[in-house]
Every structure is written in C-alpha cells, then in structure tokens.
Structure 1
Amino acid sequence: MAPRYKDGDVVLAFSGKWVSWAHTGAAYAAFLSALIVGCSIHYNKIVQNEWYGYPEEWFPSVSATIGDRYPERSFFMLFIAITSGPRFALVGLWYLLTARLNSSLPNAVAFMGLFRTLTCGGWTYITSTDNHDWHDILMISYLIATVPWTLGCIALSPNNFKAVKYRKYLAGAFFGTLVPLVYFFIQHKVHRVPGAYTTYAFFEWALILFDVAFDAVTAIDFDTFELIVRDRKGLSKGYVYKLPNSSQQVLKTIRENEKDKPIGQIFSQVFSWSSLFDAAADVYIGFVFWSMLTSLGLVVWFITDTDFPLWHMGISGYEAMIMATVSPFMLAIRSFRSLVLNDLRLFHLMSLVGLLAYLVVNPVVRLFMVGFGIWMSSLSWAATWCLEARQPAHLESKILAWTIGLLTSSVVKFANHTNNPIWPTSHSDNGGWNGLGFIIAVSAVLRSTRAPVLRSQQITQKRSNFQSLLPSLGIAGLFFGMHSLLSDSSTMILWSWEGYPVRGPISAPHGAWTIAAMGLGLLVGLFREDLASSWKFYGIGSVGAAILTEKTNWFGYYGGLVLAAYLMAVSIPLTSLASRQNPGTTFGFGFLLYNFMTLFHVWVVAYAFVPGGPMVREHTDWVMATTMILVGCGVFSVSSSSAAQTRRPATSPNVQKQRTYYLYILGLLQLLSISIAYLRFPTYDYTPYHKDDRIFTAGIWTIHFSLDNDMWSSEYRMRDIIKELELDVVGLLESDLQRIIMGNRDTTQFLAEDLGMYVDYGPGPNKHTWGAALLSKFPIVNSTHHLLPSPVGELAPAIHATLDIYGELVDVFVFHSGQEEDPEDRRLQSEYLADLMGSTSRPAILLSYLVTKPLEGNYNTYVSERSGMHDIDPSDWDRWCEYILYKGLRRTGYARVSRSTITDTELQVGKFKVGEKPAEAEKIRDKMIEESQVPEGMRFPALFRGEGVRGHAYHVFDEPRYFA
C-alpha cells in the first residue's frame, strides 16, 4: 500500500531520473523513426541535394529526413511533441536542483533551457518550405542558446564526478563536431565536392546524438529527487478527504556546495540590472568612439575636389584633420587637466557632435564636426583612464569598455556588410540609424558619468616624460594595429584572398572567426595578464603578423587570427600602464605616432600622389614590422615597470563583480556574430536575368570607393541601377576600401548578397592597388589576380576569371590601367594584358579602364590580332577610360548610362549571346539594327530612356545600340 501523508494519499511516486529517460527516449525516437521511415520510403529523394544524388550522396541530412515528406515528417512531429513534456520538466527539475541564494546563474540557465525548448518547437513545426527565414531564425536561436545552456549546466553541476565527466566529454564532442560540420558544409556548398554532404550529414546526426545525450546525464543527478502524486481529497479511493488549512511542501531543493570553478566565481555574483546597464553604457561610449574614428578617414579622403570627389588624387590640406586624435596633449596643462577630469560628462557630451554630422549637407562642415567629435572623444577617454588610474577595478572596466567597443563596432559592421549605421556617410535611405544612435549615446553618457568621481588632485601622479615614452610607443602600435586590422572582421580575410576556387576564408561566415579571436584575446588579457604582457606571447603575436603579411589562403588567415587575439590581449596591460603615466605624453604622443602610422599605411599604396611616396612603395611589410616594434616597446615598459606587480589579485570579489557584466556583453556579441554569420552564409543559387534567351549583360563601372558626390555611402544606389539594368556580370574599379582612409569597408559584400551574385574581390588590400572586383550571376570556375608592370606609377590590378555561362566557359578580364601621367607604364600594361587575353582560346570579354583614345596609341595593342579582341563599338569616339572588348561571342547590344551623382564615371554595358560566334568580316560584325528587329528578351530596359530614372539615362547616343 502506498505511504500515507496526513494531507492525502500518495497515488504515484517515482525517481526523478525517469524524467530524463523519458526525454531521451522520446527525442531519439523522433529522429530515428523519421530516419528509418524516410530511408525505407524516400531514400533516393532524401539523399538528393542541389548538386548530387545517389550514389555520390548516400546518407541523408537531418533536415532532409525530418522535412516535408509524409509520413516521416509526421513521425518526427509526433514524437517531438511527446518530448516537450519531459523537456519542460527536465528544465524545471534542473533549476530546483541548482538554485542557490545570491546567484544569478541558475536563473539564466533555466531561462535558456525554456528558450531552447520553445525555439526547438519553432524550427520543428515551421519547416524551411513553410517559411525559410523563420525556420532559420528559430534554428540558429536554438543553437546559440545551446552554448550558455551547456556551459551553465557544467558550471552548476553538483559534486558528482561521474556526471561532470560525462557532461564535459559530451560538450567537448558537441562543440568539436561543429568544426568539421562547417568544413564539410563549405566543401559541399562552395566547392561542390561530391560526397561532402554525406560526410556533413554524419556530423549533423552526431550533433543531435550528443545534444540529447548531454541532457540525458541529468538522470544521474535527478536520482536524488522523488516525484510524488498525492490525492489530497481522496477522490481516487472513492471518498472525499478533508482539505487542510495549509499544505506542506513535499519537494525540497537539494543544496550542495559549489566546486571552486572560475566560471562559477564569475557568474555567481548577485545579478544587478543597474550594473549591467552601467557596463552597457560604458561599452556603447566605446563603440561611439570607434565609430567616429573609423569614419574620419572617409570624410578626409572624400574632400579633394568640390565637383568630383577623389578626382584630384593628391594632398588637399584637409588631411590635417587626422590630427584630431592628439588632443590628449592638452592634459599636460595642469589647469586644463583639472577642468577635464572634474567635468568628464560635459566633454563626453560635446564629443557626440560628431554623431550629428550626418545632419549637415556641406561635406567640409561635416568633416569638421567629425574632427571635433574625435578631438573631444580622444581627450575624454585619455582623461577617463587617467582618472581611474588608482582604482584598478574601475580602470579595468573602462579599458574593457573601450576594447569591447571596438569589438561591438566590428560586429555592427559585420551585420551591415562593413558599413556602420551611425557614420556621417549614412542616413535613413542607405541603411543609417544615426538619430537612434545619437539618442542612445546621450543616454549612455548621462548614465556612465552620473557617479561622483575623485578629485583630479587626488589621483594625478607625477611622471617624467621619459618614463612615459615607451608606453606611448606601445599605445601607438596597439592603437594602429587595432584600427587597421580589427575594425572590420573581413579585413584580414581579404588580405589572404586569392580568388577561385575558394582556398581560404570568405568574409561571411568567417568574419565571425575574427570576432571570436578578438574575444578570446580579450579573455586572455583579462584573466592571464602576465601571459598577455610576456615576451613569449609577444613572439607568438609577431609570428602571426609575419604569416598574415607573407602568406595567403587559410595559412595566412590563421596568422591573422593569432595577431587579432594578441592585440586584444595586450591592450589591457598596455593601456593600464599608460594610464598611470603622464597622460599628455603617453596618449598625446602615442596618438601622434598613430597618425604617422596611418599616413605610412596610406603612402604604401598612394605613393604616386604624395611627396616621398616612392620610398615606401608597396612596403606593407615595413608597416607591419613597425607596428610590432612599437608594441614591443610597450611590452618592454610593462615587463620592467613596478606597476605590473601592483595589480590586484585576479580573484578579488570586487574585480569579479566588475568583470561579470562586461563578460555578459562580450558573450552576447559573440552569439550575435555567430547568428550574423549563419544568416549571411551565401546561398549560391543565383539565376541570370534572361536564362531562356541565353543572353548575359556585362558592365564596367569605376565606382570611386563607394562615396557619392555628396559624401553619402552609395551602395544602395549602386545596387538599384545594377538590378534595373539587369546586369549578370559587372566589373567594379577603384573598389578596394579595406584601408583606414576608406573606413575598412567592402562594397562587394552588400552588392553580392543583395543582388544574388558570386564575387571576386580581386587583388587584396595588401597588394597595394586601388582595387578591381567582379560580380557574376554565373559560377566563377577559376580566377587569378594580376599586378601589371608599373615601374613608375600606381599598380594596375587585373582579374582573369573563367565563368560557367549557360554551360560554356567564358573568360572575363577586369582591368584598371595606370594614370595618364605614366605613359611607359600604360604601354607595358597594354602589352601584358594583350598577351594575357591572347593566351586563352575561350570566348572572352574585357571590362576595363584603359586611359586611351579610340583607334589611337595603346588602343591598337588591346584591340589587335595579338589579343584577338574586338571593340564592342569601334564607332564610339567619345571614350577615354572605360572600354568593353570581346571575342568568340555574339555581341548584340551596347549602351552608356549616366552616373547621376553616384560617381564621376558612367556605366557602360553590353549584351552578349553565348554559343554564337561573331562574324569574321568587320563590316558584317559591326552592322547596326533597329530595336524593333531585336527580340524582347534581348533588349535593354526601357526604364532608362528619355530622362530615365533618378538621374540615370541612356546618353551619348540617347538610346542603346543593337548589332546584327
């Protein structure tokens, strides 16, 4: 007979471990039943993917198995619905087991457990066919929530060696499986390797098994619980039992002492929303600083000519505005330092003027507003670090806010295709969130500076300028390295890019790897400051810098990841030491050296336009070496400074409390970057505009670094005209924006993803050109990058790509010739390119910037028997720069489209038909016909006739030209 309590009979009593086993059994039954039924009924269909089927692919993926086909989908949904009950119970029991007073971690873990359960139901019952976007959002939310759930469960595990061991093994297996999972997915999706999806499927199924098994370990812990069902009224026995005035609690929470784990020490603090908002406010101010700083190069670079930006290509005088960062020099004046330190709120608020620059139309005024904002922000941050120099926990928080602010800027740019929505080049029509960004910034400053601070006289230390010299050198190298390489997650990826087939990382999704390396480095600097400031770690960072500079593809990028982690790690000890020195010398002189490094970094590619430029021509290696030498000076100052021994113990409760909330933010940013990487993963399912007619439209455009003539970012306007002109292939010139002076941007990412096109960035930023890029609706089978002979002037980049156009291989050349001032360069380049074009027997087109007149000079080298190329329209005499040449294709149309205010160069486009060679006789080949004789699908869009749209119209001929 069941035991009897005074307030009712026990109808059922069972061990809590059966909740875990019920969850495990139902979950496995859901997936395995679908697998068995699917393989039995629809085997050939569920192993088929977009590239291959059986026998190349012979094992189905999870998504194909549980997808839309009946009845396997029904089996899965039935058992997964049954799983939900034990799943909610499992989360509840885990919370009861681990809940402790004065600890916020159990609450957070329980919330993640509930969130995972709900999102699991979401992606289960909303398939990709029902709603692809919501299926992906819910799926990635589930995977992201798994990270804190797994780590939280390990941190909260009771003292049970067996359970802890299993959790660590299974968690390691789960996260370890993600690496080959992503690798084989890329092999399938990008490289189209036969059988890669089958291998990927095995790892995908392993992930499911490990995920469910991890939760099954709770059976060991839940054995301590007894779940009891009581009949309080006696209805189950046929009589009414009197309800007592009060009931007793049957289940009691099991309390056990926590093990001494670092993660437990961090997150076991009492959670405070106020402290979290304080940390978020500090980080946002850091984000604003980096946002304004990274925008300064854009607005300085733009203003060289009032009619056509960037046309002058020389020293304009506005470059002096980069010196806005040297404002900390003013802290050397004691009275002024006292003023700043005692009213930091005012100076931080004044710095926000830089965020309001977008309201001003005049580019010069906009530049000065940004410069003023950076002047005030640099001054305010240097003063903040100086102010907190004697409060180690507060100083560390401010340094964390500044460094996490950089990471936030990288995440925001990752989400916005390398643009920052609060830059002065943004507004509501091109993706800007300037107004909201300013409002949040004001709120953040008011919150961050609301607490009273120590008087400056109490904390100011007397340091000689000599003592501050080495730290200032370290600050210069650190600041430049962070800005030039880490302010965008794709910069180092493009350093290593070598073209197709893909042999290295791509900007999305691998930008998340850069962000992860930055976060890991920050943790090293935070928890192992001795290691971060050691010569051993400096050596590792230097090796990473050398590999990034000299190598390409994955190996080169791995060096970049090492360097990213090192710079973030060393930022904490270097900035901490610098804060204890004379602020005027340390930060003022350090930022001055940073400015010279910025010019050095520009001169290596702009050598043709600046005094003394040829001395540093193409010497990115010198820039990198100088950066690491400067950082090494800072490391020497830390290792020899007594300040290194005065740091507070890492286990100080006050320090742990300060760190907790910044780590929450850091973790959130990492999860966001993973989400962005997933959502931005290329689909590679692109369709040309006129597939049925076997026509493709190609264009060439010199985009002048994606800033329009009014200093607004022009990606959205470029996208619109490329889409409306129905361009299948387009070459973009002057497109390399991955430098400080151009904001470390990449226009091609936005255009490729929004238009659904493959992209080849061309020679990377470490190849010292102004850039050439190729966008294509057709797969890029192979591409090679060339630097053409340039003994005197700027380097001339070229791309030689082979496209699969309707099943036929077509070579496409994208080329930017040298400047008019260097005729010998242009002659050598014409010969090199003519030989390159002549080396292929395949059909080919050239999308180029040649700097020559039609039918004269070098034109006759490009259009010759040597190259085998024909001019798209030899009768078009009004050309100087842009040309389209072709061979082995039937050219059907040609048009010139006005630029509006996007740039100073028009867009030239041509239509070609695959499979039909041009006539040999020149008169027949160049015979023009009326548009009425051209089939509808082979015509240019009528949208651009007459006055056109938004300032774009057919011009010169006033209409397109068509050829027989």
Structure 2
Amino acid sequence: MAPRYKDGDAVVAINGKWVAWAHTVFAYAAFISALIVGVALHYHKIVQNEHYGYPIEWFPSVSATIGDRYPERSFFQVFIAITSGPRFALVFLWYILTSRPNSTLPKLVAGVGIFRTLTCGGWTYVTSTDDHDWHDIFMISYLVATLPWTLGCLALSPINRRAVKYRKIMASLFFGTLVPLIYYFIQHKVHKVPGAYTKYAFFEWSLILFDVGFDAVTALDFESFELVVRDVKGVSRGKGKPVGNTFGEGFFWTEVIDAASDVYNGFVFWTIVTALPVLVWYFPLWHMGISGYEVAIVTCTSPLLYVIPSLRYAAVKNLRLLHLLSLVGLLAYKFQDPANRLFVTGFALATTCAAWTASFFSERANTPRLEARIMAWGIGLIMSVVAKFACKTNNPLWPIVHAENGGWNKVGIFLALFAVLRSQRGSTTSGGDYLPAGGKKGSSILAGVGFGALMFAIVSLLTDSSTMISWVWDGYPVRGPLAAPHGALTIFAMGAGLVYGIFHPRIAGSWTAFGVGSIGAALLTCYHHWTGFYGALIFAFYIMAVAPVLIVSSVRHSPASTFGIGFIVYVILLLFHVWVVAYAFVPGGPLLREHTDWLMTTTMLSIGAGVFSAATSNSTRSRKPHKPVNPNSRKQRSYYIYVLAVLQLLSVSVAYLRFPTNDYTPYHKEDKVVTAGIWTVHFGLDNNMWSSERRMRDVIGELELDVIGFLESDNQRIIMGNRDVTQFIAEDLGYYTDFGPGPNKHTWGSALLSKFPIVNSTHHLLPSPVGELAPAIHATLDMYGEMVDVVVFHSGQEEDPEDRRLQSEYLSKLMGDSPRPLILLSYLVTKPLEGNYNTYVSERSQMKDIDPTDWDRWCEYLLFKKLHRTGYARISRDTITDTEIQVGKFVVGEPEPENEMRIPEEMVPVGRRFPALFRGQGVRGHRYHVFDEPRYWQ
C-alpha cells in the first residue's frame, strides 16, 4: 500500500539526519583514506614539490594526496562517487526545508548547491595531469560557488540556535583559513620559503574539514524530516523564519536587474571620470609643455550651473535624458582625431557629473532611494576597479581602447543603454525622513570641500587595485603585496568599507573613524612593504565607508554650493597632484616639488571638513528617537549586496587566474645568450592616443628580448589613468617585473622586465637639485647561474646640465662599485664621446659602450662590463612612441675578449643572431634602421 501523506502512514521511515551523516562520513572517508594510503605507499613522493622534498617538506597537500597516484586516487574517487548520492539528497532536502511561497532565493541556493556538486565531480575526475586548464576551471568554480552557498544557507536557516551557531563557526573558520592559505602559498610559490608548503598543506586540509563540516550541520535541521517523505514539524510549510533578515525576505530577479542596472550606471560614471584626464595628458605629453587642452578638466564642475533654479528643476525632471546624453563618452572611441575624442569625452563628463548630482539631490527626501543611489555609485566604482583588474589596468570602455587593443566598447554601450532605460524610470517621491528646514545642516562650503576631497582620494588612489601597491613596492626580494593577486584585497577592503558605511553611518562619520583613516593614510605615505599596504587597506576601507556620510550631508544643501564647489576642490587637488611631479614644466611648480605628503595631508583635512559638516547634521538627528530600518530599504540593500558579492567573487577569480605562473625561460637558453633592450615607452599612449601595450607586446616578443628596461613608464596617477604598462606585457610574455621608484617618489618612472629571476633590486633617486628627479633601478639577475647586474636609468633634461653632471657621477660610482658583470639600459641625454658620456664610459665606472662608432645617438645608450657582447641593433618605433628600441646581445659564461672584431652575420651562430623578421621593410613599421642591419662582434 502506498504511503499516504495526510495521515502520516509510510512503508519505511528514515530520519532525514542520516542523509547529512552519510554525506559527512563518505566525504571525510574519501580524503582520509587517500591520505592514509598515500602516506603508507608514496610518502616521499607526495611530500615532494617543485622546490623541496623530505625532510624540509613533511606533510602532503590535498592535491598531491588525491591526485595522480594509484591506489590513493582510486580510494578518493570511489568514496566521492558514493558521496554524490547523499550530496544531491542533501541539496534537495535543504530546498524542501527552506522553500517559501513567492521566494526565489531557495531555488537559487539549490541551483548553486547542484552546481557545486557537479564541479566537485569535475575536479575530482579530471586531474591536473589529464587536463590542467579544465581541472583549474572546475576547482575555481567550486570555490567561487562556496560563497553564495554559504551565505544562502545562513540567510535561509530556520530558527535553530544550535545549527545557526555551528554554521557561523564553520563558515568563519572556512573563510578565515583562506588568508593563511593564500599567504603560505605565496611564500612557497613566489618566495620559495622552505617548509612553507607543509604549512600551506595543513590549512588546505583544514579547509576540507570546515567545508564538509558546514554541510554536516544540516543533520540538526533534517531531524524534522523523515523519508519517505513526511514532514513531522511542518517546517517546509513556512513555520520557520529565516535568520538573515537582510537576505531572507523574498528574492525577485526584476529587483536584481534594477540594482545591477543602477550599478552599471555608476560604472559608466567612473569610466568617464577616469577617461578624461588620460586624454588631456596626451596633449602636454606631445607638446612637451602646457598645450591649452588642459582646461577640459574643469568640465566636471558642471553642477555649478545648478545655482540657476530652473536648470536644477529641469535636470531633476529629465534625469533619464541626462544619463543618456552622458553615454556619448562611450562613443568617443569612434573619433580618430585625438582633439575630437577629448571634446566628446569632456561633454560626457560635464553631463554625467550633472546627472549624478541631480540624482542624489532628487532623492534627498527619500532615504531608501538616496541610499540606493549611493550604493550604485560606490559599487559602480568597485565594478570599474574589477574591470581594470581583469584587463590589467585598462578600462575596456575607455576612449583609448578599441576592439584591436582590448576594448569592449560595443558591448559596453549596449549594456549602458539598457541600464539607463531600466534604472532611470519615472517615480514619485514620498518625502521620506529628510531633515526639516529648521534643523541644523552644517556648512555647505565644508560639505563641498569634503565631497571634493573624497572624489580626489577615490580617483587618485582607488580607481585601480594596483595603485597603492605600487606606492609601497620597493624592489626585490618580495617583501610586500603584488598587483596580482593582492589587488583583490584592495577591492575587498573597498567593498567592506562601503557596506559598513551604509549599515553604520554614525560610526563611519565619527571622528574616531576619521582618526583611523588618517593613520591609514600616514602609513601608506610613509612606509613600504606590508606595513604600508596595511595602511592602504585601512585608507580604502575608510574612504568608502565615509562616502555615504559625506554625500548624504551634501544633498542637504543646494547642489551648486556642495557638489559644484566639491568638483572645484577636486580640480584644485588634481592640479596639486600633477604639480608635485611636473614641477619643472608648470608655473609655480617648485613650490610644490615632491610634496605628496602635503597633498595627502590636505586631502585628509578636507575630508575632515566634510565630516565636521556632517557631524553637525547628525547631532540634530541624534536627538530624535531612533527609527528602525525600513523593511523595503532592508530588502533593497540586499540586492545591491548581491551585486557587490558577485563582483568580489569575480575579483577573487581574476586574482587566481592572474597569479604569476608563467614560464620565465629565456629565448636562447641553450646558447646562454642574453638579449637586452631599452625603450622609452612614452607612458603607453601611442602617437594617435591609443593604448599601446599590445603593440609593445608584439614587438618585444618578436625581438626575443630576455631583459628590457622601460623609461617614462609610471602611469599610476590620475592624468595617466592609474595604469601600469608592464602588467599586460609581463603576464602575457612571462617576465619578472620591477617597477620603481613608485609614483609617490615623484619621477616619470622606470621599469625592468626580465626572463631571469631578480635576486635583488634597489631603487635610486639620483641628485636633481634643479630639474626633474632621475630614477634608476639597480637589479641583480640570476643569468644561467651567474649573478649579473642590470641598471635601468633615466637622466635629467637637457635644460639642467648641473643635474645631469651630478647624476653621471653618481651612476658612474654605482656601476664602478659593482663587482659583477653589468649592463646599463639608459637614457643619458648626451652626445657620443662628448661631455658626460666620458663619465659614464670611464675607468671609474669600468663601463664600455656597446658600439662607440654609433654617432647618431642622443638619449638611449647600452653600456656593459665583464660580458662578451655579440650584437647590437636599432629598431624603429613606428607610431608606438617617439623613441626607437636599442637592443644588445651578450653571452654569459664566456670571458670578455681583449680584442673584439666586427664580423658578418653569416659567421654568427644562429642562436646569437637577431630575428630576420625586421630586415628590409620589417613588420608593422618596425625594422632595423640607422645601420639597416644588426652589427655583430666576435
């Protein structure tokens, strides 16, 4: 007789907790059995890694244990296969337990649970030996899906204090373990620290225990179930309430789409805000001085027009039109002429600043909707940072990119149109809980100053995840964060700060929080390595947390007197920011020379002014009875946090995919040849104002350069878009990278890319009493087992002869004091055989010119000592920059001959020759020139 639901009759009744217990037992059995068998049969093999073995490494990692060896792999796969049945049943029962009428979240969580189960099978049965890429894809997908599964289960947990307590403990342990796990993995992979992999292994096994343990807690909830299936407590019919108030009150895809559209509008705003300075920079860059186009930066002050009431009224009533007009900035890439691109983007910036100001102001009487606009604005910023993180510091919608050099312009425009039409729909305001006219509102001027400083702090330091990392980087060995993967930590701090500021505005707007943020700014400014980066994370958290406070304070006044003045302050700070490094080219520049510390102090004091104004308003509101958070506002928050969580997951995925795992093998390892080059890259903008990283990558790879120095390469400033030309090239071609001195050292930048390990590097600022600072990197490379020094150097300008003389003496001593073979990749600003040339090439320096007969040089030079030079070539630049590439070939391990002689190419071994690709007309405008062919020596 079939079981009858109504009267509870059943043929067989099994308590639901046994599903959870079966899943737990078989999952643990899979891992533990593989560990026992592996240790018993292949102990020394599974503790061995690419750097060390037993006894330095003495405990195996999970992957080594369950991976490719028989029979432990089979034990693991058999038990995991058995686990799949209870796993699917667990997901099904969890859905039955949490399903509610008109609620989509349980379905979403169930879908994630099924996805995790399938991807677990993927990385289990497709090992890294079978297919490394697919194994990683399945593994990453599994780990990424763990966050929504965990949060979803917590949000939907029925009232069961014991179960909720254990879930929180297991979730906290799981995510807390990720921090030391990543730390020790980097110690092993990057720093090659003995024993680090064993410590990593312990945390990796802990991760497994906590992951399975989290799902084991369902046994406490499934006690209310019996199979076949009888609900003895009626929990599945809605008697239990979700614990997560923010996430458990229904889930509607239309609301998620609305939130995502709002966020995308914020992303477009930040795209345009960060694009214009890059376009402006092109003109003084090519004019070598003030061009007049710099005035375009004032277009952001368009909110000043709201001093006219009729314009303010029209803007509030036509927000959709304003946002649509601002999208012309995404079409600017269609204009080939740089000036036209600048004008179109300037118009877009004026429009988008006016549109967002009107959006904030129009919602001043409706707290939930104002909060939604602020979250969209802040999460849109984080989206732009994630996009740049994924695209290696270029925003894919900027006017300096197109389809051929990494742009996603057409897709971006389509999504922007959809987002504006979706999010900017007409609605009425309810009055909300806006501060009455009689209450204190603080000072409109101070509120504007605070908002302007907030904008500057964000645009200068938080629009790229690697900017603050470049501030604290100080050379090899690695003693601090790397752009990838640690950029994800910056993004996480930004997101956490924004959420904290939304949920706890009183604390975020307090003087205590301001003091903590100021400490973070001081640490970032004054310290290097991890100490400086911890300050950077504090600074990022505080700036994003205080942003809602300052914006809410600003909308209490006329938008012209807050946002208008705010953007004026932003422009002033932006000029200050440029003046500290461009002091040699601007009026009054020496007064601000090298004073980033002044700039940071001014920024924080200005934010303090905004906090003071906001505190006045809060003091009035604090006397009112505390009002609970509106349920609609709570639900609305959840959708924006879902979008933020997705972006955070994307940033973690990008960090994993960008983790440096390249093959750094030199091009001609068998011949022990080193091909070294120097190139002044003009900040990665070509003659036609297009981003040039991909074109640079192509010619560098085709020249087979093992070591290359970049000059004029520091783009980590507002006017350069907070970019880094080395990241794409280094990761795509497989180079170690040294970037320095950093942007807070006030130079135009130098960088070193090397196929050889960088054992040690030191950053130098050479004497520059009058002109611009001269940067240098002095690095020691491990070339085929021999230590060889490489110096990358950019001297001062022609207008400052005393600076150049002092710099030549400093560098000559630096090179002469090195006992190792040395290659200088440089920009010297001197004629061959004349003036300071004879200081660089001298008995003191012990350096030789790679080709003293090359009379046609002024800037770039290749010098060397204690190495056997075999070749020299000059390669034309096409339209990438205004400077050619100079390249030399050296052989390591052969003594430097006393009497070298020029020889024809046919006498040169094939492995020591330059590529034939660049002969004659060459390729894509790159060819051997001046001599029309390379020169060789024996």
Same fold (TM over 0.5): yes
Tell me if the contact between 1:392 and 1:647 (Cα under 8 Å) persists in the aligned partners.
no
**Cα distance in 2, alignment partners of residues 790 and 400 from structure 1:** 46
Opposite residue 368 of structure 2, the aligned amino acid is A
- The residue number in structure 1 matching 2:184 is 184
Look up the SS of the partner of 1:692 in the other structure.
helix
Q: How far off its partner does 1:930 sit?
A: 0.8
- The residue number in structure 2 matching 1:244 is none
1:594 counterpart (570, 580, 583): 570
1:692 counterpart (667, 670, 686): 670
Q: How far off its partner does 1:367 sit?
A: 0.3
1:437 aligns with 2:412: yes
- Once the two structures are overlaid, the 10-residue window that deviates more, 858-867 or 681-690, is 681-690
1:734 counterpart (712, 736, 742): 712
Opposite residue 962 of structure 1, the aligned amino acid is Y
Q: How far off its partner does 1:10 sit?
A: 5.0
Tell me if the contact between 1:496 and 1:557 (Cα under 8 Å) persists in the aligned partners.
yes
Task: Call closer, same or farther: CA 1:47–1:420 in 2, change over 3 Å.
Answer: same
Tell me if the contact between 2:366 and 2:429 (Cα under 8 Å) persists in the aligned partners.
no
- 1:480-499 alignment runs, 5 A limit: 480-499=456-475
**Cα distance in 2, alignment partners of residues 164 and 275 from structure 1:** 28
**Cα distance in 2, alignment partners of residues 384 and 656 from structure 1:** 21
- The residue number in structure 2 matching 1:907 is 885
- The residue number in structure 2 matching 1:298 is 278
Opposite residue 699 of structure 2, the aligned amino acid is I
Task: Call closer, same or farther: CA 1:455–1:303 in 2, change over 3 Å.
Answer: farther
1:280 counterpart (260, 263, 271): 260
- The residue number in structure 1 matching 2:452 is 476
Tell me if the contact between 2:578 and 2:719 (Cα under 8 Å) persists in the aligned partners.
yes
**Cα distance in 1, alignment partners of residues 922 and 441 from structure 2:** 64
Q: How far off its partner does 1:536 sit?
A: 0.7
- The residue number in structure 2 matching 1:245 is none
- 1:560-959 alignment runs, 5 A limit: 560-641=536-617, 644-645=621-622, 649=627, 651-683=629-661, 685-920=663-898, 924-925=899-900, 927-959=901-933
Q: How far off its partner does 1:400 sit?
A: 1.0
Tell me if the contact between 2:24 and 2:216 (Cα under 8 Å) persists in the aligned partners.
yes
- The residue number in structure 1 matching 2:529 is 553
**Cα distance in 1, alignment partners of residues 84 and 171 from structure 2:** 22
- Once the two structures are overlaid, the 10-residue window that deviates more, 100-109 or 208-217, is 100-109
Look up the SS of the partner of 1:800 in the other structure.
strand
Opposite residue 711 of structure 1, the aligned amino acid is M
Q: How far off its partner does 1:741 sit?
A: 0.1
- The residue number in structure 2 matching 1:271 is 251
Look up the SS of the partner of 1:492 in the other structure.
helix
**Cα distance in 2, alignment partners of residues 880 and 3 from structure 1:** 94
Q: How far off its partner does 1:100 sit?
A: 2.9
Tell me if the contact between 2:224 and 2:233 (Cα under 8 Å) persists in the aligned partners.
no
Tell me if the contact between 1:102 and 1:269 (Cα under 8 Å) persists in the aligned partners.
no
TM-score for the superposition, normalised by structure 1: 0.94
Look up the SS of the partner of 1:847 in the other structure.
strand
Tell me if the contact between 1:845 and 1:886 (Cα under 8 Å) persists in the aligned partners.
yes
Look up the SS of the partner of 2:751 in the other structure.
strand
**Cα distance in 1, alignment partners of residues 6 and 689 from structure 2:** 81
- 1:46-85 alignment runs, 5 A limit: 46-85=46-85
**Cα distance in 1, alignment partners of residues 242 and 3 from structure 2:** 40
Tell me if the contact between 2:441 and 2:613 (Cα under 8 Å) persists in the aligned partners.
no
Cα deviation per residue 1:45-87 (whole Å; 9 max; x = unaligned)?
2222111122221221111111122222222211111111100
2:335 counterpart (357, 360, 363): 360
**Cα distance in 2, alignment partners of residues 553 and 497 from structure 1:** 6
Look up the SS of the partner of 1:608 in the other structure.
coil
**Cα distance in 2, alignment partners of residues 712 and 275 from structure 1:** 38
Cα deviation per residue 1:674-733 (whole Å; 9 max; x = unaligned)?
111111111154211111111111110000000000100000000000100001111000
**Cα distance in 1, alignment partners of residues 423 and 626 from structure 2:** 23
- Once the two structures are overlaid, the 10-residue window that deviates more, 151-160 or 350-359, is 151-160
**Cα distance in 2, alignment partners of residues 94 and 8 from structure 1:** 21
Task: Call closer, same or farther: CA 1:580–1:6 in 2, change over 3 Å.
Answer: closer
Opposite residue 570 of structure 1, the aligned amino acid is V
Q: How far off its partner does 1:131 sit?
A: 2.4
- Report how many residues are paired: 934
- 1:23-62 alignment runs, 5 A limit: 23-62=23-62
Cα deviation per residue 1:252-308 (whole Å; 9 max; x = unaligned)?
6545765785xx11112222222211111111111101001101111000023xxxx
**Cα distance in 1, alignment partners of residues 153 and 89 from structure 2:** 16
- The residue number in structure 2 matching 1:421 is 396
Any stretches of 5+ residues in structure 2 without a counterpart? none
Tell me if the contact between 2:442 and 2:613 (Cα under 8 Å) persists in the aligned partners.
no
Task: Call closer, same or farther: CA 1:7–1:311 in 2, change over 3 Å.
Answer: closer
**Cα distance in 2, alignment partners of residues 792 and 578 from structure 1:** 43
- The residue number in structure 1 matching 2:145 is 145
Q: Could you say what the CA RMSD is over the residues aligned between the two structures, in angstroms?
A: 2.3
Opposite residue 31 of structure 2, the aligned amino acid is F
- The residue number in structure 2 matching 1:101 is 101
2:492 counterpart (516, 534, 540): 516
- 1:125-140 alignment runs, 5 A limit: 125-140=125-140
- The residue number in structure 1 matching 2:354 is 379
1:535 aligns with 2:511: yes
Cα deviation per residue 1:60-117 (whole Å; 9 max; x = unaligned)?
1111111122222222211111111100111111222222335444333222211211
TM-score for the superposition, normalised by structure 2: 0.96
Cα deviation per residue 1:618-654 (whole Å; 9 max; x = unaligned)?
0001110011111001100011126755898452112
Look up the SS of the partner of 1:226 in the other structure.
strand
**Cα distance in 1, alignment partners of residues 862 and 459 from structure 2:** 38
1:324 counterpart (265, 287, 299): 299
- The residue number in structure 2 matching 1:220 is 220
**Cα distance in 2, alignment partners of residues 373 and 404 from structure 1:** 21
Opposite residue 892 of structure 1, the aligned amino acid is T
Task: Call closer, same or farther: CA 1:521–1:884 in 2, change over 3 Å.
Answer: same
1:344 counterpart (319, 324, 348): 319
**Cα distance in 2, alignment partners of residues 460 and 74 from structure 1:** 68
**Cα distance in 1, alignment partners of residues 549 and 392 from structure 2:** 32
- The residue number in structure 2 matching 1:172 is 172
Cα deviation per residue 1:169-214 (whole Å; 9 max; x = unaligned)?
2222212211111111111011101111111111111111111122
**Cα distance in 1, alignment partners of residues 909 and 588 from structure 2:** 57
Q: How far off its partner does 1:3 sit?
A: 9.7
- Once the two structures are overlaid, the 10-residue window that deviates more, 176-185 or 732-741, is 176-185
Opposite residue 38 of structure 2, the aligned amino acid is G
Look up the SS of the partner of 2:933 in the other structure.
coil
Task: Call closer, same or farther: CA 1:406–1:313 in 2, change over 3 Å.
Answer: same
**Cα distance in 2, alignment partners of residues 5 and 270 from structure 1:** 28
Look up the SS of the partner of 1:267 in the other structure.
coil
Look up the SS of the partner of 2:669 in the other structure.
coil
**Cα distance in 2, alignment partners of residues 627 and 257 from structure 1:** 53
**Cα distance in 2, alignment partners of residues 362 and 720 from structure 1:** 25
**Cα distance in 2, alignment partners of residues 579 and 455 from structure 1:** 16
**Cα distance in 2, alignment partners of residues 332 and 932 from structure 1:** 77
